[in-house]
Structure 1
Amino acid sequence: MSNTALATKTSLYNDVSAALQAIGVDPSTLDGEIKTRSPLTGETLLFLPKHTAEDVEAAIDRADEAFRTWRDVPAPVRGTVVKRWGELLTEHKRDLAILVQAEAGKSISEAEGEVQEMIDICDFAVGQSRMLYGQTMPSERPGHRLMETWHPLGVVGVISAFNFPVAVYSWNTALALICGDSVVWKPSEMVALSALGAHTLLARAIEEQDAPAEIIQLVLTDRYAAEKLLDDPRVPLISATGSTRMGREVGPRVAARFGKTILELGGNNAAIVTPDADLDLALRGIVFAAAGTAGQRCTTMRRVIVHESIAEELTEKLVSAYQTLTIGDPRDEQILVGPLINESGFQGMQDALKAATEQGGTVITGGNRVLEDEFPEAYYVEPAIVTMPAQTDIVRDETFAPILYVLTYSTLEEAIALQNDVPQGLSSAIFTENQREAELFVSASGSDCGIANVNIGTSGAEIGGAFGGEKETGGGRESGSDSWKSYMRRATNTVNYSGELPLAQGVKFL
């Protein structure tokens, strides 16, 4: 459908169009089958072209061909592309944030924070481009050198979700590019404009640095056409972010051809609050992690496990804090809680609240739809707090909405057991001023999650640390630390400069 068919040009449409133009995309040239919708108002923004399965295959062809040139470019030179991308992201931080806000419903502070994550990972990757270190090991044979080297992997397929439209792409792409890989990106159709904006800025950086244009490919398509990525042996790595259900389909399918995966799937994150906690600190950490982004983060806090001696006091503080949360169109910078992504997200929240009450829980605040008269096509809700007598089935399930379950415990060992007794294993936290409790929580006997925090909430990871989780969260790691190794292949090299041919382990032959 042509964008000229849109009946009205609202202020939101005008803001999005201006942001696209500033980035380098002319909205008047766009048309197609993908309808971009804003959860802020429910209105249609623009229509974008939809790629077919044949288009996806052609994108893989181009990326594979470009890889064969890109892999031989020195890594520090590859880093200049990522450096320039970071500069362009800095220049257009507000523009890209406007697109993220319009499509994901975030406050402008959170949207700009997401773009800042992109800038930060570019900085990290540029430094990493000079540190793709291998090791030299002592050889048991005289006149031999034993070492390992790291080499580019190939085409990396990136599949990303709606809730972080651009940051997760950058975590993968900045590292993949400095490692010498090419990238094919399949973003969520719900955030296609944000993806187009991020892609356009990177394409400009590539052009300015005289790198092969084909090393990045953007495919705007549905899950069925994108399945080409899962099955093509020229795509040795798939990095997929989404639900555990999606991961159950992606993981085995890629493994069947012996491909690699980085899976970032569901989270059911908890904070333990002990009697030795600073309750005011805990309160601030809990409220942001539970209600921020309207509960639509994989690291959203979904459970509070609080000691029975302070449960009533903390619950009262939480209810009072929730009643001060401003809910509405986050283009107003005083608004803290924006909309759910769509009707399906709202219905999922209502179904979960119903199940919680049927399983013995009590909704003590929130859960209602608000602003329905003002925004009939958008879904704003009050973040909910539910007290639960036990960790029932609904508590152990992830609902992608702002529901916070409150459970109590009597011993720290019991609290840690509750924290771990869910299928997911992404993020976790403990609030305590007791050093022994803190150390136990981050020990091997403590949290079983990929992220274990002390005196901060479950959301807001920095790019310097590896991001990811265990169990049904998928086991993948992205962003900082040594995550770069996922985008490369390791080779063990033995160099014989002795003039003799001794065999390892003293084996004699001939």
Structure 2
Amino acid sequence: MTQEIDFNAVLKELGIESVNPGVCTGTKWKSTTGKFMESYSPSDGKLIAGVQQCGIEDYQEVIETAKTAFRSWRMIPAPKRGEIVRQIGLELRKYKEPLGKLVSYEMGKIYQEGLGEVQEMIDICDFAVGQSRQLYGFTMHSERARHRMYDQYHPLGVVGVVSAFNFPVAVWAWNAMIALIAGDVVVWKPSSKVYLCAVAVHKIVANVLKENDVPEGVLSLVAAESKVLGDTMFSDRNIPLVSFTGSTRIGQKVGRLVGERLGRSILELGGNNAIIITPDADMEMALRAVVFGAVGTCGQRCTSTRRIILHESVYEEFKQKLVAIYQKLPIGHALDSKTLVGPLVDKYAVADFCNSLKRVTEEGGKILTGGDVLSGEGYESGCFVKPAIAEVENHFAIVQEETFAPLLYLIKYTDLEEAIQLHNDVPQGLSSAIFSRNILETEKFLSHEGSDCGIANVNIGTSGAEIGGAFGGEKDTGGGRESGSDAWKAYMRRQTNTINYSTELPLAQGIEFNV
């Protein structure tokens, strides 16, 4: 049953109108030349509000404003830039509940996950504040007498952030907060499926920017469809770094367009994440991790669990328990507190899910449970599906792809060598996990001959990374890293400096060159 949701109070608190401009340079919202687009909730199909999108002329104005802002923003000491970020974190704390509800309602993830996403924004602000005092370089000993060498990092300039629908606000924060303390300015192009979340974030952030007289253009928003702005932004020489989150197919195009102008890109692309479950695993803990990883966000995380590689001795028992849990999963409105599985983002996602299920059976797989598209009371939007489990072989073409939906594959293995080979034998390399209490197994999984992913976990699932570690993957996942650890270096340019404090001019490598 769908509960009646009165969302007007939430929209009012966030400053969302029935019609919203899609261009902002910090505190100033601009009238735009792009088309009008409406946003509907996948939970109940109701109209939330609309956005007047950014046009090419609007974008060009934003870029010029951002370039001007960079010249002054880069000269503000990093700890003072960090203070602005600290205040942004405090402001987000005030709006955590309504913004979490909007994320849930517009995107479809359950409310607890919506709150968690806003908490990620708050956490990265806290992380970035500390990072603003640790933009360190290194000193090196020179081969020449009375010479000193060191390296340092300088701001890059305009950073373009292109985020996906599944994390409407957190991915922007991962990039923007680190970019800000690095001295960069940010232009954000959000997914057209979740414009309102981006508008709300900029309304919240504007309070801090205004109170601190932050130059217009330090944080900008350009809400435009990719067919209007995508290639233009990726090819723009005014943007030295583009951070793109999305599919591998589009990411390959982004990498090419940015690379052709010798720009930099942080690519966070597809995942085909697996969990290896050995006979020495804590089975109940593994079950919980698998279910959250596979059906959380209705399978629409890049770190969602796609494949379970089960030892033959525990395969049947684990399969039966997993199927039993799936058959009882509460599916419903994202804001209903009883719901564990919300809707897919739209009907296109539902069609992809159904097509993948068809391909599973065509290639010789077996659907064990789920796969239905739900209809009737509470499911009027047409975006609800029953999460599915299928028995497959790893080499199936469909298994080698990423289905961005709650479709989980079960694969049987005999020994750990085989399990690791199956695990790595996909094009993607984002997140991975092993469940075992055997240190010989877990250490092998983390070693050079183990997981080939950017993230490898032991006794936790593939989904739900903390912001303290660098986030990203290998192979078709793109190789990018963002968020924690030393990921800040990607947002800065490195410079090596040599200082001669003698009265001589010796050359490196002992070269003699007397004029």
Deviation at 1:21, TM superposition (A): 2.6
Aligned residue identity for 2:265: T
User: How has the CA–CA distance of structure 1 residues 390 and 191 changed in structure 2, closer, same or farther, with 3 Å as cutoff?
Assistant: closer
1:359 to 351, 360, 363: 363
How far 1:204 moved relative to its partner? 1.8
One-letter amino acid of the structure 1 residue matched with residue 59 of structure 2: V
Distance 1:505 1:389, change over 3 A: closer
Equivalences for residues 346-385 of structure 1 within 5 A: 346-385=350-389
Give runs of aligned pairs for residues 148-159 of structure 1, distance below 5 A.
148-159=151-162
Greater CA drift, 460-469 or 491-500: 491-500
Partner of 2:30: none
The residue that corresponds to 1:22 in the other structure is 13
The residue type paired with residue 254 of structure 1 is V
Report how far residue 203 of structure 1 moved: 2.1
Letter in 2 for 1:233: R
Name the residue aligned to 2:64.
61
User: Equivalent residue for 2:287?
Assistant: 283
SS in 1 for 2:228: helix
CA–CA distance in 2 between the matches of 1:219 and 1:289?
32
Partners of 1:498 and 1:29 lie apart in 2 by 62
The structural deviation recorded for 1:27 is 4.3
Task: Provide the C-alpha distance between the structure 1 equivalents of 2:67 and 2:47, rounded to a whole number of angstroms.
Answer: 35
User: Which letter maps to 2:457?
Assistant: N
Letter in 2 for 1:306: L
Q: Which moved more, 1:499-508 or 1:430-439?
A: 499-508
Matching of residues 445-484 of structure 1 within 5 Å: 445-484=449-488
Q: Which TM-score applies when normalising by structure 1?
A: 0.96
User: Are the aligned partners of 2:20 and 2:51 in contact in 1 as well (CA < 8 Å)?
Assistant: no
C-alpha contact 2:190 2:222 (8 A) present in aligned 1: yes
Structure 2 partner of 1:166 = 169
Check whether the contact 1:56–1:225 (CA below 8 A) recurs between aligned residues.
no
Per-residue deviation, residues 360-387 of structure 1 (Å, max 9, x unmatched): 1111111111244433323111110101
Distance in 2 separating the partners of 1:198 and 1:498: 54
Bigger drift between 85-94 and 43-52 goes to 43-52
1:206 to 202, 206, 209: 209
Question: SS at 1:184's partner residue?
Answer: strand
Partner of 1:437: 441
Confirm whether residue 500 of structure 1 aligns to residue 507 of structure 2: no
How far does the alpha carbon of each residue in 1:382-432 deviate from its partner, in whole angstroms, 9 at most, with x for none? 110101144311111110110000000001011001111111100011000
Q: How many angstroms apart in 2 are the aligned matches of 1:195 and 1:167?
A: 10
Q: Partner of 1:415: helix, strand, or coil? A: helix
Distance between the aligned counterparts of 1:291 and 1:37, measured in 2? 22
**Equivalent position of 2:335 in the other structure:** 331
User: Unaligned regions of 5+ residues in structure 2, if any?
Assistant: 23-34
Classify 1:351/1:138 alpha carbon distance in 2 versus 1 (closer, same or farther; 3 Å): same
Distance 1:303 1:29 in 2: 41
1:312 paired with 2:316, answer: yes
Q: Distance in 2 between matches of 1:375 and 1:275?
A: 40
Amino acid at match of 1:37: Y
Q: 2:365–2:390: 8 Å Cα contact kept in structure 1? A: yes
Aligned residue in 1 for 2:430: 426
After superposition, residues 220-259 of structure 1 pair within 5 angstroms as 220-226=223-229, 227-259=231-263
The residue number in structure 2 matching 1:343 is 347
DSSP 3-state at the match of 1:369: coil
SS in 2 for 1:150: strand
Tell me what 1:99 maps to.
Answer: 102
Report the CA distance shift for 1:390/1:426 in structure 2 as closer, same or farther (over 3 A): closer
Alignment of 1:385-396 (within 5 A): 385-396=389-400
- The CA deviation string for residues 66-106 of structure 1, in whole angstroms up to 9 with x for no partner, is 00110111000111111111001111000111110111111
Taking the aligned partners of 2:72 and 2:343, their CA distance within structure 1 comes to: 45
2:31 counterpart residue number: none
Alpha-carbon distance between aligned partners in 2 of 1:169 and 1:150, rounded to the nearest angstrom = 22
- Cα distance change on mapping 1:425 and 1:320 into 2, 3 Å: same
Alignment gaps of 5+ in structure 1: 1-9
User: Aligned-pair RMSD on alpha carbons?
Assistant: 1.4
**Correspondences of 1:87-166 after superposition (within 5 Å):** 87-166=90-169
- State the match for 1:322 in structure 2: 326
SS where residue 161 of structure 1 aligns? coil
Question: Given residue 260 of structure 2, which amino acid in structure 1 is its aligned partner?
Answer: A
Aligned partners of 2:12 and 2:286: how far apart in 1? 43
Most deviating of 171-180 and 23-32: 23-32
Deviation at 1:254, TM superposition (A): 0.5
Alignment partners' CA distance in 2, 1:330 and 1:390: 33
**Deviation (angstroms), 1:23:** 3.0
Could you tell me which residue of structure 2 aligns to residue 3 of structure 1?
none
Matched, 1:196 2:199: yes
Equivalent position of 1:6 in the other structure: none
Deviation of 1:28 after TM superposition, in Å, equals 6.3
Cα distance in 1, alignment partners of residues 181 and 463 from structure 2: 28
Aligned residues of 1:384 and 1:402 also touching (Cα < 8 A): yes
Distance 1:375 1:76, change over 3 A: same
Note if contact 1:160-1:169 (Cα within 8 Å) is conserved in structure 2.
Answer: yes
Shift of 1:473: 0.4
User: TM-score normalised to the size of structure 2?
Assistant: 0.95
For residues 15 and 373 of structure 2, the distance between their equivalents in structure 1, rounded to whole angstroms, comes to 38
Give deviations 1:134-168, integer Å, cap 9, x for gaps: 01111111111100010000000000000000000
Helix, strand or coil at the partner of 2:217: helix
Q: Distance in 2 between matches of 1:57 and 1:29?
A: 20
Task: Quote the Cα distance in structure 2 between the aligned partners of 1:18 and 1:215.
Answer: 30
CA distance in 2, matches of 1:28, 1:382: 34
